[in-house]
Amino acid sequence: MKFEVTILGSSSATPIFNRNPTAQVVNVNDKLYLIDCAEGTQQQMLRFDIKASRIDHIFISHLHGDHYLGLVGLLSSMHLNGRKKVMKIFGPAPLKEIIEIQLKYSETTLNYPLEYIFTNAAQKELIFENQDMCVESIPLDHRISCTGFLIKQKKRLRKLIKERIEELQIPVPYYSAIKKGHDYTSADGTVYKNDTLTTSPADPKSYAYVSDTKYNESYFKQIGKASLLYHEATFMHDMLDRANQTHHTTALQAANVALATGADKLVIGHFSARYKTLIELLEEAQSIFPKTELAIEGRTFVISE
Amino acid sequence: MKFEVTILGSSSATPIFNRNPTAQVVNVNDKLYLIDCAEGTQQQMLRFDIKASRIDHIFISHLHGDHYLGLVGLLSSMHLNGRKKVMKIFGPAPLKEIIEIQLKYSETTLNYPLEYIFTNAAQKELIFENQDMCVESIPLDHRISCTGFLIKQKKRLRKLIKERIEELQIPVPYYSAIKKGHDYTSADGTVYKNDTLTTSPADPKSYAYVSDTKYNESYFKQIGKASLLYHEATFMHDMLDRANQTHHTTALQAANVALATGADKLVIGHFSARYKTLIELLEEAQSIFPKTELAIEGRTFVISE
């Protein structure tokens, strides 16, 4: 099942030329989920050919402008482009007030409904679930209420061994039960154990999105062992004091989170505008966690195919 | 005196690839004034090397998102980049509420003051004046309260004829009065007429910014004969019904405004995303007003040097 993340923005608070602030699109089984929506996100979607009409769920980590200022523009463009489907918005409660006041003064009545699901930065919560995956909000340690998001694939059905099924001439109506792990009893009473008829599906994968936060072990257990960990890395470690003061993370600390939680792979982003090149940040993280990559705009990270 | 306009965005409601929504920078005597500030304006300023720190005045025509959604991001970046100087914001009164609610929830206290000057869409008003120029707000005919802006150079002092001044050995303290048009009486009582000592300065130039509006003769007299007229031209004239319905203008109508008001030159912008190329809009306007150009991002129109 397709599970991948495309980076739309990788800059922290202020944009720099060719680096937009934070936004990402997660594709799970060909459904698109937008995570954070900084100023310029709709322009980035045009640039990377991501169809806004395919997005039905938007997750906002917190209310610093570099994570949500593109939202009203995106919602307005969807309206002008004829959207009718409900849009679900997950984020801090005041987001509703911020959106509504702007719709009010522009005298805009969207021709599609918005449904708000407010996040709680005090505890981990299951905020969304469908047949493919579930999303949990993860409390982070930032200057204002902020959550990360943990997206976990659902455990998939077992896979039928086609040759064996055909050989035994098992009728189709039994397939569903066998995929769920049941044994099969044939007409003559012979019992065929499930593990002779099926193979295990791939382990469910997970994507942990750790937005703005100070390095704090409190969230390590909550994100668990991620197949892909995105972690902010605003500064190099020589600016640790500044990172602590502004409740951000250094590249070395981000790598430490990956190491401590057993992530398969790390992507770092949210780079301070002071870094004109990013190789130093990458090398610092790779010095202790080699499987690190940079969140470069337009780059897609495949978690499962 | 330098007087020029640089286009930062030329798209209407929704951006399209490589066309951002509306924003412009006006340079008057090396001071920068921002007119409208759509989403992505700060990124466009980076792209075209326009220093945000040089802007002390921002004019917002109306509260449709494609004219102001970049404002909070720009103000936040100025804050993070250490701005201390007051920023004057001219626009509809609710803009204050929209900005303040977003600063409140991001728990941001700007380290520079904002000063609001509310525009009145009911009548023409002088809203700003300094030694170089003045700005008047012009009521337009849009779906919500909307004003254009008329920027007029101040009448300049007369220019001394250097050779004549030296020949007559006129003392320096008299220069100021002579530049203002006074005659000069020498020690022996001879009166030298001002027009033998000075030449006329260039006529003051004006820039009329006609943001979103339906074609309506009500504003013709108020913008007067502009040296440069920027007029929205959202549609081609074959979409006149749609233009009327949405309170926008066609390219042909924009050219008619230029013709009727006696503008020296016309720039059309605010193009609908339906037009992938702009040559048709240009040709339609040029068919009746040849001195028309397109508002292309990054392009600068010189009004005086």
Q: What is the ipTM of this complex?
A: 0.88
How far is B57 from A263, CA to CA, in rounded Å? 49
Q: Among the options A36, A49, A56, A66, which is catalytic? A: A66
How far is A266 from A294, CA to CA, in rounded Å? 9
Query: Are residues B69 and B172 located together in one domain of the fold?
Result: no
Q: For residues B160-187, b (16+ Cβ closer than 10 Å) or e, as one string?
A: beeeebeeeebeeebeeebbeeeebeee
Q: Pairing mode, if any, of strands A206-210 and A228-232?
A: parallel
Q: How far is A142 from chain B (nearest CA, A)?
A: 11
| Number of Cβ atoms within 10 Å of the Cβ of A222 | 17
Q: Do A16 and B63 touch (CB under 8 A)?
A: no
DSSP reduced 3-state for A176: helix
Q: Do A65 and B73 touch (CB under 8 A)?
A: yes
Chain A with chain B: Cβ pairs closer than 8 A: 105
Q: What local confidence, expressed as pLDDT, does residue B15 receive? A: 77
Residues 179-238 of A with CB under 8 A from B: none
Q: What is the pLDDT of residues B128-173, one digit of tens each?
A: 999 999 999 999 999 999 999 999 999 888 999 999 999 999 999 9
Q: With an 8 Å Cβ cutoff, is B17 touching chain A? A: yes
Q: What local confidence, expressed as pLDDT, does residue A155 receive? A: 87
Helical (H) or strand (E) element with A242: helix A240-246
Chain A contact set for B98 (CB, 8 A): 101-102, 105
CATH number at residue B85: 3.60.15.10
Query: Are residues A142 and A290 located together in one domain of the fold?
Result: yes
Q: With an 8 Å Cβ cutoff, is A241 touching chain B? A: no
Q: For residues B62-100, b (16+ Cβ closer than 10 Å) or e, as one string?
A: bbbbbbbbbbbbbbbbbbeeebeeebbbbbbebbeebbe
- Structurally, chain A folds into a number of domains equal to 2
Which tokens in the block code for residue B141? 């005919």
Chain B contact set for A105 (CB, 8 A): 63, 92, 94, 97-98, 144
How far is B225 from B215, CA to CA, in rounded Å? 17
Chain A contact set for B107 (CB, 8 A): 143-144
Q: With an 8 Å Cβ cutoff, is A93 touching chain B? A: no
Q: What local confidence, expressed as pLDDT, does residue B105 receive? A: 97
Residues 120-149 of B with CB under 8 A from A: 143-144
Query: Are residues B148 and B175 located together in one domain of the fold?
Result: no
Query: Are residues A77 and A105 located together in one domain of the fold?
Result: yes
H, E, C per residue of B79-92: HHCCCCCCEEEEEC
Q: What is the pLDDT of residues B190-215, one digit of tens each?
A: 999 999 999 998 889 999 999 999 99
Question: Which of B296, B236, B12, B34 minimizes the C-alpha distance to B143?
Answer: B12
Q: What is the mean pLDDT of residues B224-233?
A: 98
Conformation bin of residue B189: beta by default, left when phi > 0, alpha when psi is -120 to 50: left
Does the pLDDT of residue A17 top 80, yes or no?
no
CB–CB of A106/B91 below 8 Å? no
Which residue positions of A form the known binding site? 62, 64, 66-67, 142, 212, 270
Which residue positions of A form the known binding site for Zn(2+)? 62, 64, 66-67, 142, 212, 270
Q: How buried is residue B189: exposed, middle or buried, by Cβ count under 10 Å (0-12/13-18/19+)?
A: exposed
**A264 has catalytic annotation:** no
Q: What local confidence, expressed as pLDDT, does residue A66 receive? A: 96
Query: Are residues A19 and A116 located together in one domain of the fold?
Result: yes
Whole-angstrom distance between the N-terminal and C-terminal Cα of chain A?
5
Chain B contact set for A16 (CB, 8 A): 46
Q: What local confidence, expressed as pLDDT, does residue A16 receive? A: 79
Domain boundaries, position B191: 159-198
Domain boundary among A181, A199, A217: A199
Percent of all residues in chain B with a pLDDT value above 70, rounded to a whole number: 100
Q: What is the mean pLDDT of residues B231-258?
A: 98
Q: Do A80 and B14 touch (CB under 8 A)?
A: yes
Query: Are residues B216 and B132 located together in one domain of the fold?
Result: yes
Domain boundary among B145, B169, B198: B198
Q: How far is B66 from chain A (nearest CA, A)?
A: 7
CB–CB of A301/A264 below 8 Å? no
| Average of per-residue pLDDT values in chain A | 96
Q: How buried is residue B128: exposed, middle or buried, by Cβ count under 10 Å (0-12/13-18/19+)?
A: middle
Query: Are residues B89 and B236 located together in one domain of the fold?
Result: yes
Q: What local confidence, expressed as pLDDT, does residue A206 receive? A: 98
Query: Are residues A188 and A296 located together in one domain of the fold?
Result: no
Q: How far is B47 from chain A (nearest CA, A)?
A: 6
Query: Are residues A91 and A114 located together in one domain of the fold?
Result: yes
A72 pLDDT band (50/70/90 cuts)? very high
How far is B2 from B26, CA to CA, in rounded Å? 10
Query: Are residues A10 and A100 located together in one domain of the fold?
Result: yes
Domain boundary among A140, A170, A199: A199
Query: Are residues B226 and B284 located together in one domain of the fold?
Result: yes
Check the CA dihedral B21-A62-A18-B52 and report its sign.
positive
B236 pLDDT band (50/70/90 cuts)? very high
Dihedral, B95, B96, B102, B104 alpha carbons, nearest 10: -170
Q: What is the pLDDT of residues A82-109, one digit of tens each?
A: 999 999 999 999 999 999 999 999 999 9
Which tokens in the block code for residue A14? 């202020």
All residues at 6 or more sequence positions from A231 whose CB lies less than 8 Å from its CB, including other chains = A210, A249, A254, A257, A258, A266, A267, A268, A269
Query: Are residues B41 and B189 located together in one domain of the fold?
Result: no
Q: What angle do CA B176, B177, B182 make, to 5 degrees?
A: 145
Place of tokens 């090398």: A283
